[in-house]
């Protein structure tokens, strides 16, 4: 940002209330009211004439218009302090020789960059700045880019007595003459147009001794012109005793020889920030950094050093010895460092001020497709080699130049268990034979190494200081996160995203209790075994302070319920772009939870358990993103859709959720309505079918039971009886010779006559229910058992027999006994007593009358003797 922008920005930020206001004759201009006055923004309106402004306007922005002259005298408000005329087509300060800005003498800032005001004596005639004695900031950069000879008229510039900041083109032959000595306040100088200049001579800043900040970077070089400075003579900055900020970046032909020229001048300055980025061609050869290149820095109090994009490959051994203690930040991105023995513990230990280091983007030149990379030609490569030779410090004995450490790397950087067992066990209780010791400056807080092709894995490691708060290792090639990472007790921010890691251990974060921000996205951790076991609950076990967790894009399909049980303070959880089919993690304990992102997963609908788990967290104002899941409308998911509709305020982009139903895509509210309707009739159909089926089965069962009622009864009682008395299968082991079945009204016959003739005279054992039934048993049971235990069954057939239920029961049981237990053997004796109407006789009885024995009780006394003989015979057979 320019000074002007910064100032105005500050003004705007300092006021509590701003509102649109009419401040100019053109209503298209935007007006902002601030306590110090009005700000008018007329930028980008295509104006060819300057509008009028009210008196209270203190800042006018006319940038990006089509003005060809400065605003006419008197058209600008008299209290104007800030004027932006950048990006117009102004060619001249004045066409009639009058001095400009005569009515705006209080101007503090004037921006004329990107116009066509050439830096020569004709345009910059005497007195043009006479009315700008209070001007502090002048920008006339990007006006004179042409390759012609200019002259910067110092006698004109010297009238800007209050000038503090100057942005100016330093094209060919432009120099800062004696007049600049008068500008005692001038401390900030930014040079543009260096493309046409080849060398900065060592007396270039002779008349600018008060400079504090000097920007000579060729940042315009976005087209890869590679035309910046080629030389900065040694001694150029020696006279700038107050210089604190120096930027020589993007002069791609300068090379490390130019860099070395500059570093040797820096001890004579007050340097704090030195930027020397991209001093080489992107696809140029690799180069070496010698101790001599940075050695002079030891005599400075430099705080920030930027040496990005210099194709640095190796450094001379012990180079860390020459890094000044005052250094706080090093940025050395986009080089070609390879992990190597550059540093030793004892050397880094003295760098107590380094707080941040950035080593990102290493080795990008390999296979680079950057357009710029082709621009460096052969000549530049030759120059690079020439520069390497010039800097090469050992002319006689090349053995001094060693890139090998005195001690093998491993010996110093492995911590052996024997000597450190106490410390090691304070980390996590896992035993490892050795830890990798990572040596870093003792107070370093931030280490950034993204896209640096750091490969292999995260081994069990110890860092030499617990001061580290931020560690960024995203987009590397760490394929497994094993750990544990020890001594990182203050680590708050860890980024391991984009590593395509497939493996993670349960204890890799076990010793990171302070972690607040953890990014693991864009790995393939879903393939790691741990996510399929309950061990996954240990993964974040010690992250009790975690507020941000990103595990998106990891092919995760399963999450266990207790995964985040201990991370009570989580605010943001990102699990998008995975393969989850349901929600399965307890989150109700996270009172600060704001965002849960499960978009782009494979969720068709949530299970009751999933809904319950989310439901519990709705006491907070959490927002859940479920966009782009293949939500599925069906009668199974209707409860889910009702639920999500009820809680729609907790779902981000709820209006955009859709589900497919019968080939069409619906939004949730419509879908739920349709589903409720369609599924209600569906349920009716189901209920009806179930009732029908049950009825059918019941009917069939009833029919079957009815059909086999006798057999079932028989079997039931026989089975029941089988537990007690057990009949032997052989003949004559029946308990009774005959069971007598009779109607109650006929009872005198069996009770008197049969007992008399058959039992008393012939020793038969009869079963007569009035006499022989066991008390306490059910009648049905008694009958069945008695029949089962009798060799024959005698049915005393009479009209009453046919009417009696019990007699029919006895008959039917006997029939079953006959077919089931006696193989159809003749065992039923039908004895007719008196008259029987043939119409009342059932088919079963008729069948037995034909098949088995049928005798009649004679009516006259004489025949009865023979009858009993026959009867006794039938019983015996």
Ligand X SMILES: *[C@@H]1O[C@H](CO)[C@@H](O)[C@H](O)[C@H]1NC(C)=O
Q: Which among 165-173, 252-260, 515-523, 807-815 is the span making contact with ligand X, rule CB under 6 A?
A: 252-260
Nearest Cα to Cα of residue 257 among 287, 299, 222, 224: 287
Residues 249 and 217: beta-carbon distance below 8 Å? yes
Q: Give first-to-last CA distance, the chain, whole Å.
A: 129
Nearer to ligand X, 10 or 823 (CB): 10
Contact characters 90-129, ligand X, x per CB under 6 A? -xx-xxxx------------------------xx------
Task: Name which of residues 474 to 503 contact ligand X (CB under 6 A).
Answer: 487
Beta bridge partners of 167: 139, 190
Sequence-distant (≥ 6) Cβ neighbours of residue 317 within 8 angstroms: 341, 342, 402, 403, 404, 405, 406
Interface with ligand X (CB under 6 A), residue total 65
Q: Which among 273-281, 344-352, 363-371, 474-482 is the span making contact with ligand X, rule CB under 6 A?
A: 344-352
The residue length of the chain stands at: 877
Nearer to ligand X, 490 or 645 (CB): 490
CB of 191 to ligand X, least distance (A): 16
CB of 727 to ligand X, least distance (A): 59
The single residue among 506, 554, 629, 637 that binds ligand X, judged by CB under 6 A, is 506
Should residue 584 be labelled a site residue for ligand X when binding is judged by CB under 6 A? yes
Task: Name which of residues 283 to 342 contact ligand X (CB under 6 A).
Answer: 321
Compute φ and ψ for 384, nearest 5 degrees: -60, -45
CB of 409 to ligand X, least distance (A): 17
Should residue 358 be labelled a site residue for ligand X when binding is judged by CB under 6 A? no
Q: Which two tokens stand for residue 573?
A: 């959880």
Beta strand extents in 106-208 (DSSP E only) = 109-111, 137-139, 165-169, 188-192, 199-200
Distance CA 221, CA 448 (A): 27
3-state helix, strand, coil in the chain (%, to 5): 30, 15, 55
Should residue 134 be labelled a site residue for ligand X when binding is judged by CB under 6 A? no
Residues 142 and 169: beta-carbon distance below 8 Å? yes
- The vertex-665 CA angle with 664 and 670, nearest 5°, equals 105
Should residue 347 be labelled a site residue for ligand X when binding is judged by CB under 6 A? yes
The single residue among 33, 350, 352, 735 that binds ligand X, judged by CB under 6 A, is 350
Angle between helices 805-820 and 843-851 (to 10 degrees): 50
Distance CA 654, CA 597 (A): 13
Nearest Cα to Cα of residue 746 among 821, 702, 798: 798
The single residue among 113, 196, 465, 499 that binds ligand X, judged by CB under 6 A, is 465
Which residue stretches of 306-454 are H helix?
345-348, 378-391, 409-413, 417-427
Should residue 48 be labelled a site residue for ligand X when binding is judged by CB under 6 A? no
Q: Which among 45-53, 355-363, 394-402, 839-847 is the span making contact with ligand X, rule CB under 6 A?
A: 45-53
Nearer to ligand X, 24 or 269 (CB): 24
Residues 580 and 601: beta-carbon distance below 8 Å? yes
CB of 138 to ligand X, least distance (A): 14
Distance CA 353, CA 329 (A): 8
CB of 780 to ligand X, least distance (A): 55
Nearest Cα to Cα of residue 830 among 808, 810, 852: 852
Q: Which among 134-142, 226-234, 689-697, 759-767 is the span making contact with ligand X, rule CB under 6 A?
A: 226-234
Should residue 46 be labelled a site residue for ligand X when binding is judged by CB under 6 A? yes
Residues 207 and 174: beta-carbon distance below 8 Å? no
Distance CA 421, CA 139 (A): 63
Should residue 656 be labelled a site residue for ligand X when binding is judged by CB under 6 A? yes
Task: Name which of residues 798 to 837 contact ligand X (CB under 6 A).
Answer: none
Should residue 157 be labelled a site residue for ligand X when binding is judged by CB under 6 A? no
Contact characters 56-95, ligand X, x per CB under 6 A? -----x-xx-------------------x------xx-xx
Q: Which among 249-257, 295-303, 670-678, 685-693 is the span making contact with ligand X, rule CB under 6 A?
A: 249-257
Distance CA 33, CA 41 (A): 11
Query: Cβ-closest residue to ligand X?
Result: 510
Instruction: Bin 19: left if φ > 0, else alpha if -120 < ψ < 50, else beta.
Output: beta
Nearer to ligand X, 53 or 710 (CB): 53
The single residue among 101, 250, 507, 661 that binds ligand X, judged by CB under 6 A, is 507
Should residue 402 be labelled a site residue for ligand X when binding is judged by CB under 6 A? no
Residue 318 is classified by DSSP as: T
- For ligand X, the binding residues (CB under 6 A) are 4-5, 8, 22, 24-28, 43-47, 51, 54, 61, 63-64, 84, 91-92, 94-97, 122-123, 231-234, 254-255, 257-258, 261, 321, 346-347, 350, 420, 423, 428-429, 462, 464-467, 487, 506-507, 510, 538, 541-542, 558-561, 582, 584, 653, 656
């Amino acid at each position: 940002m320019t000074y002007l922008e910064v100032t105005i920005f500050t003004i705007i930020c300092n006021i509590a209330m701003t509102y649109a206001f009419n401040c100019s004759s053109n209503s298209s201009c935007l007006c902002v009211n601030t306590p110090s006055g009005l700000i008018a923004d007329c930028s980008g309106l295509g104006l060819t004439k300057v509008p009028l402004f009210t008196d209270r306007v203190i800042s006018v922005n006319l940038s990006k218009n089509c003005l060809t002259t400065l605003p006419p005298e008197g058209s600008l408000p008299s209290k104007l302090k800030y004027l932006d005329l950048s990006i117009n087509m102004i060619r001249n300060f004045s066409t009639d020789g009058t001095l400009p800005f005569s009515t705006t003498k209080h101007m503090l800032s004037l921006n004329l960059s990107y116009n066509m005001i050439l830096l020569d004596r004709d345009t910059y005639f005497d007195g043009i700045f006479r009315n700008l004695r209070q001007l502090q900031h002048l920008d006339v950069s990007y006006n004179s880019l042409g390759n012609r000879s200019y002259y910067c008229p110092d006698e004109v510039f010297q009238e800007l007595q209050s000038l503090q900041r100057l942005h100016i083109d330093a094209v060919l032959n432009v120099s800062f003459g004696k007049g600049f000595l008068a500008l005692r306040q001038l401390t900030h100088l930014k040079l543009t147009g260096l493309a046409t200049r080849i060398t900065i001579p060592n007396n270039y800043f002779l008349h600018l001794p008060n400079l504090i900040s000097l920007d000579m970077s060729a940042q315009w070089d976005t087209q890869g012109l590679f035309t910046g400075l080629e030389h900065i003579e040694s001694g150029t900055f020696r006279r700038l005793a107050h210089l604190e900020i120096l930027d020589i970046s993007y002069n791609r032909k300068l090379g490390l020889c130019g860099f070395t020229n500059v570093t040797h001048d820096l001890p004579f300055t007050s340097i704090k920030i030195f930027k020397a980025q991209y001093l080489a061609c992107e696809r140029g050869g690799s180069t070496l950094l010698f101790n001599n290149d940075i050695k002079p820095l030891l005599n400075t109090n430099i705080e920030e050093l930027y040496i990005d994009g210099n194709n640095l490959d190796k450094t001379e051994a012990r180079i860390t010895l020459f890094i000044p203690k005052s250094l706080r930040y090093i940025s050395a991105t986009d080089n070609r460092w390879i992990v190597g023995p550059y540093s030793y513990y004892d050397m880094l230990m003295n760098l107590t001020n380094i707080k941040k280091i950035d080593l990102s983007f290493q080795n990008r030149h390999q296979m680079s497709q950057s357009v710029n990379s082709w621009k460096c030609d052969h000549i530049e490569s030759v120059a690079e080699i020439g520069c390497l030779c010039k800097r090469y410090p050992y002319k006689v004995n090349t053995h001094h130049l060693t890139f090998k450490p005195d001690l093998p790397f491993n010996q110093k950087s492995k911590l052996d268990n024997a000597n450190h067992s106490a410390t090691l066990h304070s980390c996590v209780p896992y035993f490892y034979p050795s830890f990798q010791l990572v040596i870093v400056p003792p107070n370093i807080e931030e280490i950034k190494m993204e896209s640096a092709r750091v490969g292999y894995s995260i081994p069990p490691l110890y860092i030499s200081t617990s001061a580290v708060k931020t560690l960024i290792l995203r987009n590397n090639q760490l394929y497994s996160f094993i750990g544990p990472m020890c001594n990182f007790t203050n680590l708050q921010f860890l980024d391991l995203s984009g590593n395509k890691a497939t493996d993670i251990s349960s204890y890799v974060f076990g010793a990171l209790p302070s972690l607040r921000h953890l990014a693991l996205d864009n790995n393939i951790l879903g393939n790691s075994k741990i996510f399929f076991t309950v061990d996954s609950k240990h993964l974040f076990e010690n992250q009790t302070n975690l507020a941000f967790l990103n595990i998106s894009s990891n092919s995760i399909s399963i999450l266990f319920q207790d995964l985040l049980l201990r991370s009570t303070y989580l605010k943001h959880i990102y699990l998008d772009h995975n393969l989850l089919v349901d929600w399965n993690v307890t989150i109700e304990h996270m009172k600060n939870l704001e965002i849960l992102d499960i978009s782009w997963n494979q969720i068709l609908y949530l299970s009751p358990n999933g809904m319950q788990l989310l439901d519990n967290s709705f006491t907070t104002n959490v927002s859940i993103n479920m966009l782009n899941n293949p939500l599925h409308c069906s009668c199974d998911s209707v409860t889910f859709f009702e639920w999500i509709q009820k809680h729609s305020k907790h779902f981000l982009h709820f209006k955009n959720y859709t589900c497919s139903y019968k080939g069409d895509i619906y939004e949730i509210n419509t879908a739920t309505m349709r589903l409720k309707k369609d599924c209600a009739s569906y349920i009716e159909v189901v209920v009806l079918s179930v009732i029908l089926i049950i009825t059918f089965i019941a009917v069939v069962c009833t029919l079957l039971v009815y059909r086999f009622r006798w057999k079932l009864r028989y079997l039931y009682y026989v089975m029941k009886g089988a537990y007690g008395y057990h009949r032997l299968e052989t003949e004559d082991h029946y308990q009774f010779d005959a069971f007598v079945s009779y109607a109650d009204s006929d009872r005198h016959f069996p009770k008197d006559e049969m007992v008399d003739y058959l039992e008393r005279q012939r020793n038969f054992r009869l079963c007569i229910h009035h006499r022989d039934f066991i008390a306490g048993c059910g009648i049905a049971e008694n009958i069945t058992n008695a029949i089962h235990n009798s060799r024959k069954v005698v049915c005393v057939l009479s009209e009453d027999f046919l009417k009696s239920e019990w007699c029919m029961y006895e008959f039917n049981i006997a029939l079953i006994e006959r077919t089931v237990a006696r193989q159809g053997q003749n065992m039923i004796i039908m004895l007719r007593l008196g008259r029987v109407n043939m119409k009342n006789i059932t088919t079963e009885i008729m069948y037995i009358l034909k098949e088995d024995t049928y005798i009649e009780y004679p009516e006259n006394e004489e025949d009865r003797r023979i009858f009993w003989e026959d009867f006794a015979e039938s019983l015996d057979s």
